[in-house]
Amino acid sequence: MSFTRAAASLGYVQSSVTAQVQSLERELGVPLFERLGRKVTLTDPGECLLGYANRILALTEEARCAVAGDGDAAGTLTVGAPDTLCAYRLPAVLHAFRRDFPSVRVVFHPTRSSKQARRAVAEGLVDVALLLDEHIDARGLVTEVLAPEPLCVLVAPDHPLAGLESVDPEHLQSLRRS
């Protein structure tokens, strides 16, 4: 989210990156970034274009692998997942995946909600999404529960929930009404 850092990572001068972005915005007729001082954030059209750019890059890699004819599974797998899953649950899974499919490039697309993840899959922005959610019925999508996710509730010793053996969602709902 910085033109300066993007330029440094690409080996360009910052003014060149800025000029290219401005040229693309003029061509498309929409702002792709909101400029907030030295920081930038994607606008809704920018988010949309990013999805297409990722798909183009994935198809380019897939075409390169198809032409090379490796025979092994290859290409890019784009995964939508919340940061917490990426940090705590996926490293071991990715290690095993990399061992079994070394030619597949895995790209992560952070998702902030179940709704955003479902939309990303439906629109083809990601190949698969991982959710921290109860089993959902999403029309047109295949869902599968992979593993239960433990959840702990911490309360002060004098809290009404402190004396309970276990806490159910109904207990939490009743607190919201109080």
pLDDT at 32: 93
pLDDT at 109: 83
| Interatomic CA distance for residues 49 and 25, integer angstroms | 11
- CA–CA distances in Å: residue 151 to residues 60, 80, 154, 166: 41, 22, 10, 11
87 plus 124 within the same structural domain: yes
Question: For the domain that residue 128 is a member of, what is the CATH number?
Answer: 3.40.190.10
145 plus 65 within the same structural domain: yes
Residue 158 lies inside a defined structural domain of this protein: no
63 plus 100 within the same structural domain: yes
pLDDT at 72: 65
Question: For the domain that residue 1 is a member of, what is the CATH number?
Answer: 1.10.10.10
pLDDT tens string 106-115: 888 888 888 8
61 plus 86 within the same structural domain: yes
38 plus 100 within the same structural domain: no
Number of domains in the chain: 2
Residue 142 lies inside a defined structural domain of this protein: yes
Q: How confident is the model at residue 34 (pLDDT cuts 50, 70, 90)?
A: very high
13 plus 77 within the same structural domain: no
| Interatomic CA distance for residues 108 and 80, integer angstroms | 6
pLDDT tens string 51-90: 888 888 878 777 776 676 555 667 788 888 888 777 777 7
With beta carbons less than 8 A apart as the criterion, state whether 119 and 103 touch.
no
61 plus 138 within the same structural domain: yes
11 plus 65 within the same structural domain: no
pLDDT: is 42 or 176 the higher one? 42
pLDDT of 164 > 80? The answer is: yes
Residue 93 lies inside a defined structural domain of this protein: yes
34 plus 82 within the same structural domain: no
107 plus 79 within the same structural domain: yes
34 plus 116 within the same structural domain: no
- For residue 93, the one-letter residue type is V
Containing structural domain, residue 96: 53-149
